[in-house]
């Protein structure tokens, strides 16, 4: 997070040192993140990191001002009113998975994308938790060692996924357990079993290409867009985050309590309420 702020300072204000900073610099940084479509909760995390550095060095904290707090609140109000992303439900997920072989030519990528989409929905994932935005982030996504498939009589029955790096992490790994469902075309246990039968790597990021390169965020987003177009869904309304929105909404529609949904999706606050969109279900 601090690297982003320092890079911002170098590009926009090259003659000014990033630390200690000022309220004006922080305000410009918040505007920059907002225009880059960062979510308010993400912006708040970046500002908290900057605040921590100032407190650690006994500097005056520029983020702890009425001015900055109002800007962050304004970003929250604007973003919440303009977020029109729709949930990818279990039914939509099934359509996407069924369409992958038609849209994607590579057999390996077909199985890869099926596994990624299924896992994204059933584990309430952010796409950045399984696909890298840069090579330097490859240790921050789910690793091969974080997934375990349990067998009974040599037949897969369930799997567990351990989340070690996630937004708002309290440094305590979260384990998700999913049972196999053979009647579900998008069953993540079957999808992941098929994928693991193909992979050659034995360490590193869970999702890699045959050459050993981690799957990039841009690749997944472009592939998802192509599949959404094929099934006739608006790619302006359905995005990568729609899996997470859909998981929360689907759970709420089944009567799962808000507290349990918050735990399942690893939300730190009541921000989970913004993901439950039963009116779009």
Q: Determine the Cα–Cα distance for residues 95 and 180; give it in Å rounded to an integer.
A: 19
The verdict on 98 and 67 lying in the same domain is no
Query: What phi-psi label fits residue 207: left (phi over 0), alpha (psi between -120 and 50 degrees) or beta?
Result: beta
Residue 279: CB atoms within 10 A of its CB come to 6
The verdict on 219 and 102 lying in the same domain is yes
* Tokens describing residue 13: 């204000």
Domain encompassing residue 30: 2-82
User: What confidence score (pLDDT) does residue 135 get?
Assistant: 82
The verdict on 169 and 109 lying in the same domain is yes
User: What confidence score (pLDDT) does residue 114 get?
Assistant: 98
User: What confidence score (pLDDT) does residue 82 get?
Assistant: 59
The verdict on 149 and 236 lying in the same domain is yes
End-of-domain residue from the set 82, 117, 134 = 82
Provide the domain count of the chain: 2
Residues of the chain scoring pLDDT < 70: 79-82, 168-171, 279-281
- Which segments of the chain does DSSP mark as H helices, in order? 2-12, 23-35, 40-56, 66-82, 90-103, 107-122, 188-196, 217-231, 242-253, 258-264
The verdict on 12 and 115 lying in the same domain is no
User: What confidence score (pLDDT) does residue 191 get?
Assistant: 96
User: What confidence score (pLDDT) does residue 134 get?
Assistant: 85
User: What confidence score (pLDDT) does residue 235 get?
Assistant: 93
User: What confidence score (pLDDT) does residue 193 get?
Assistant: 95
């Amino acid at each position: 997070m601090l690297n982003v702020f320092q890079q911002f300072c170098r590009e926009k204000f090259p003659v000014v040192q990033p630390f200690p900073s000022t309220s004006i610099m922080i305000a410009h940084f918040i505007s920059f993140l907002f225009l880059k479509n960062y979510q308010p909760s993400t912006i708040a995390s970046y500002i908290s990191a900057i605040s921590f550095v100032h407190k650690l060095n006994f500097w005056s904290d520029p983020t702890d001002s009425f001015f900055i707090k109002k800007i962050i609140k304004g970003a929250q109000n604007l973003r919440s009113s303009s977020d029109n992303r729709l949930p990818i439900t279990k039914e939509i997920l099934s359509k996407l998975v069924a369409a992958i072989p038609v849209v994607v030519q590579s057999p390996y990528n077909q199985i890869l994308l099926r596994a990624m989409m299924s896992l994204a929905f059933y584990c309430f994932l952010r796409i950045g938790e399984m696909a890298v935005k840069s090579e330097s982030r490859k240790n921050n996504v789910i690793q091969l060692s974080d997934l375990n498939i349990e067998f009974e009589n040599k037949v897969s029955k369930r799997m567990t996924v351990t989340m070690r790096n996630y937004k708002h992490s309290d440094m305590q790994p979260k384990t998700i357990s999913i049972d196999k469902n053979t009647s579900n075309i998008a069953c993540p246990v079957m999808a992941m079993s098929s994928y693991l039968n193909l992979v050659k790597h034995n360490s590193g990021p869970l999702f890699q290409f045959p050459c050993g390169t981690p799957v990039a965020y841009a690749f997944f987003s472009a592939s998802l867009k192509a599949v959404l177009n094929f099934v006739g869904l608006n790619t302006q309304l359905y995005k990568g985050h729609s899996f997470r929105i859909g998981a929360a909404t689907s759970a709420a529609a089944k009567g799962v309590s808000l507290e349990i949904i918050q735990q399942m999706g690893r939300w730190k606050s009541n921000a989970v309420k913004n993901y439950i969109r039963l009116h779009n279900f």
